Amino acid sequence: MALKTLSIALAFFAAIAVPANAQDQNQNTTDPNDKSILIPLDDRGGLPVPKNLTDLKNLSLAFWVKFRGTSQHVYRYVNEAAQFHAYTHVCKRHELNVTLAPITELSNYYIQAAIPAHYDEPEFTLLEPLPKKEQQRFLEDMSSDLYAFEYGFRTSTFSQAIAESGKTRKTFCANIENDYKHSYIALRAIAQRRLAEFRDRTAFD
């Protein structure tokens, strides 16, 4: 399932959107020779203003990296989903009958909702004039890229952890199998519930 429009994405994420950082630098002196005067940052805190969709993609990745570690449930779910996905790649021998489709579907749904929540006027100036289908295509492409980033990062981290543990892959995976069994059950239950809610909601659009 994909978000239908940018407006749906913003409405979905409105309650949990991450606010942009703001800096308020008040100066009590106007002496031009006072070297203690700080040069004020621009309104974007030094972030570049995107001039095209390639810039916007790069900036979207930078935003994701900046906010991916927050405690908001959207990021937390995507992180846990990518972690479990990486586990199934590294630890192929387990007793779980895994169906990743609903988990990755919800993850992509969440990422598509989170992306525009990071934006400010310069980003919307590029995105909003696009036809709705092109907006959606952009969000879907970014979602795929960001999920691939998370999955690849965690797969690499798993391999490093195995190497540093001094254990065989089989032993390492056996020691964590029970934890990931519980993780999978929780991820799948959330995905089934949330996706059903989204389908019910969009059925009336």
What pLDDT sits at residue 8?
42
Let me know: does 88 contact 100? Beta carbons within 8 Å.
yes
How confident is the prediction along the chain (205 residues), in pLDDT tens digits per residue?
444 444 444 444 443 333 333 333 333 434 444 444 333 444 666 778 899 999 999 999 999 998 888 888 999 999 999 999 999 999 987 777 888 999 999 999 999 999 999 999 999 999 999 999 999 999 999 999 999 999 999 999 999 999 999 999 999 999 999 999 999 999 999 999 999 998 877 655 5
Label each residue of the chain as H, E or C.
CCCCCHHHHHHHHHHHCCCCCCCCCCCCCCCCCCCCCCCCCCCCCCCCCCCCHHHHHHHHHHHHHHHCCCCCHHHHHHHHHHHHHHHHHHCCCCCCCCCCHHHHHHHHHHHHHHHHHCCCHHHHHHHCCCCHHHHHHHHHHHHHHHHHHHHHHHHHHHHHHHHHHCCCHHHHHHHHHHHHHHHHHHHHHHHHHHHHHHHHHHCCC
pLDDT of amino acid 167? 93
